[in-house]
Amino acid sequence: VPRFREDLGAMAVFFTPEMPPDVTDRVSGVLYAMYGFGDASGTGFGSSIQSTAGLSYRIGVWRGDEGNETSNYQEFTNVIEALEEEGETGRLADCRVFFCTDNLTVESALYKGSSSSEKLHGLVVRLHCLQSKYAVLVTVSHVLGKQMIAEGTDGLLRGLLNEGVMAGESIMSFV
């Protein structure tokens, strides 16, 4: 089995806690839905997330070798890191997250539950850990690149803060 080592590594991560964590299959006490968009390219990344606290966004350039990674890895890493930041601030509590990306591989890996790429498989594991840690259910959905441009997250890659949701448009008009 070519991926046996990675699968054992994932199981070791999942079984690390002393007490088994609750795994959320269906959120019964959702107080609100959170919507987000994420995009990445060779040099940078951006994401925008609407929660009850308002619009939060992140803009950045890749560190070191991450700028040389595949677009699939960059897009997926951006999704995971944006959600991890939201979790660290406490904004993932009692919500259901719908996150949009223009990368079909990210959506496919999450619905399949794994990836033949060791790095992407590691990101799938990170998302499962994030969902368990914050008792949140995350749905990642593929959207067209044109929708990403109109929503404004595509412009964040270039530091543009005056398009789509960044200019005050409702994120719901792009979901």
16's tokens: 């690390």
Stretch 36-45: mean pLDDT, rounded? 90
pLDDT above 70: residue 26 = no
Question: In this predicted structure, what is the pLDDT of residue 132?
Answer: 84
**Beta carbons within 8 Å of 58's beta carbon, 6+ residues apart:** 45, 46, 47, 81, 82, 85, 156
Q: Please report which confidence band the pLDDT of residue 133 belongs to, taking 50, 70 and 90 as the band edges.
A: confident
pLDDT above 60: residue 27 = no
Give the span between the Cα atoms of 85 and 91, in whole angstroms. 9
> Considering the chain, what is the average pLDDT of its residues?
87
pLDDT above 90: residue 152 = yes
The more confident residue out of 113 and 107 is: 107
| Beta bridge mates, 148 | none
Question: In this predicted structure, what is the pLDDT of residue 38?
Answer: 94
Locate tokens 């995350």: which residue?
Answer: 138
pLDDT tens-digit readout, 59-110: 999 988 888 899 999 999 999 999 999 999 999 877 889 999 999 999 998 8
Least Cα distance to 49 among 104, 103, 109, 101 occurs for 101
- pTM (predicted TM-score): 0.84
Give the span between the Cα atoms of 22 and 34, in whole angstroms. 21
Stretch 116-142: mean pLDDT, rounded? 90
| Beta bridge mates, 104 | none
Q: Please report which confidence band the pLDDT of residue 164 belongs to, taking 50, 70 and 90 as the band edges.
A: very high
Question: In this predicted structure, what is the pLDDT of residue 23?
Answer: 64
